[in-house]
Amino acid sequence: MPETTAPLDVRALREREFPHLDGQPPYLNAASMAPLPERARRACDAYNARRAAVHQLRGADFEPTMRRAREAAARLVNADADEIALLPNTSYGINLAAQALKIEPGRRVLVSGFEFPANVYPWLKLAEEGRAPVEIIPPDALGRPDEERLLEEIARGDVAVLALSAVQFATGWNADLARFGRACRAQGTWFVVDAIQALGCIPVDVRAADADILATAGHKWLCAPFGTGFAYVRGELARQLEPAVVGWTAMKAGADLARCVDYRWEFVDDARRFEVSTQAWQDVAGFAEAMELLLETGIERIRGHVFGLIDPLAAWLGEQEDGVIVSGMEPGQRSGVFAFRLGDSERAYAALYRAGVRCALREGAIRIAPHLYNTAEEMATVMDVLERRERW
């Protein structure tokens, strides 16, 4: 069924799912963490209540809860549920890729400069171990990836892995994943995507992107509990790779608890082989609820709402002599992360913080990250503070 294009009823949504935002200064920092919707909080609380009264726990609290979360994650990225592994964070998913993918001698790993460290250190570990050289390609003057240089490097034919964020954390640069995916597929290069700054606000399609592995966490744009996340591992690839960290539920023998000492080195046939045994089920329950809320609302609809919030601020900055928009504003480059510089950006950020506006300062730029729960009035507060420079 196509997503609705009707505008969001933000007031009703806030009243129902985000009541704690009312009466508070603007919270515009989904790129760091987002508030829990009430339905996710209730799911976590209800699970913990059953855990406290342990006799109330039931079979549906375990594998069915996991299945529901995998199915929601799969819908978010246009994957199959058996291509989803539930993991605690993005770093775990990137490490999964770095440790499991086979890198032939003479091939290298390619990373763009200004990547968030979670998508850099797991690859640098390979270099430290002498398993593969890692090349970090310098970004442009604003900190955005040098797309043409990255594509030129891939075309040389010796790149084993391209590790790239779908949306850059500091600039909001939104990658043309399909373009990079095609280039990688043509050269036999693994394409690994860090999607934490995209999912929940920007549509991502792993099929169209030709992604091999995608990793994300739940606590930012997915509005989910800390310690939740998932990795997509392309189905055919998942059956070929072995995890570096092995949990007993990754093995087929783990399915029969009555015969769990029948030790057989035989992995399950899907991405569950990358899950490491006991999960934080109460948080997985909340994770499923949060993702389902976003899916029900519609990712395209959320994106349109967020862009509508950003547009007036972007227009105002364009009129300022010392205003520099760091984020790309072309339709294909935009994301929910909006980064800009304005005069002394540190002073401007401090003024916003004193006014109660919660945003971030990243790599010399102010980063505003509104989400489905934010209003035009909250964005107007940002411009009001920035306009009153005499008070900085």
User: What pLDDT was estimated at residue 1?
Assistant: 42
The amino acid occupying position 132 is A
User: What pLDDT was estimated at residue 389?
Assistant: 82
**N- to C-terminal Cα distance for the chain?**
50
Q: What is the pTM of this model?
A: 0.95
Residue 232, phi then psi, degrees to nearest 5:
-95, 130
What is the chain's length? 392
Beta bridge pairs of residue 340: 325, 366
The amino acid occupying position 278 is T
Per-residue pLDDT 10s for the chain (392 aa) are 445 567 899 999 999 999 999 999 999 999 999 999 999 999 999 999 999 999 998 988 899 999 999 999 999 999 999 999 999 999 999 999 999 999 999 999 999 999 999 999 999 999 999 999 999 999 999 999 999 999 999 999 999 999 999 999 999 999 999 999 999 999 999 999 999 999 999 999 999 999 999 999 999 999 999 999 999 999 999 999 999 999 999 999 888 888 888 888 999 999 999 998 899 999 999 999 999 999 999 999 999 999 999 999 999 999 999 999 999 999 889 999 999 999 999 999 999 999 999 999 999 999 999 999 999 999 999 999 999 987 77
Q: Is 48 helix (H, G, I), strand (E, B) or coil?
A: helix
Q: How far apart are CA 228 and CA 251, in angstroms?
A: 22
Pairing of strands 213-217, 229-233: antiparallel
Q: Where are the alpha helices (DSSP H) in the chain?
A: 10-17, 38-52, 63-77, 90-100, 121-128, 147-155, 177-187, 206-209, 235-238, 281-297, 299-318, 345-354, 376-387
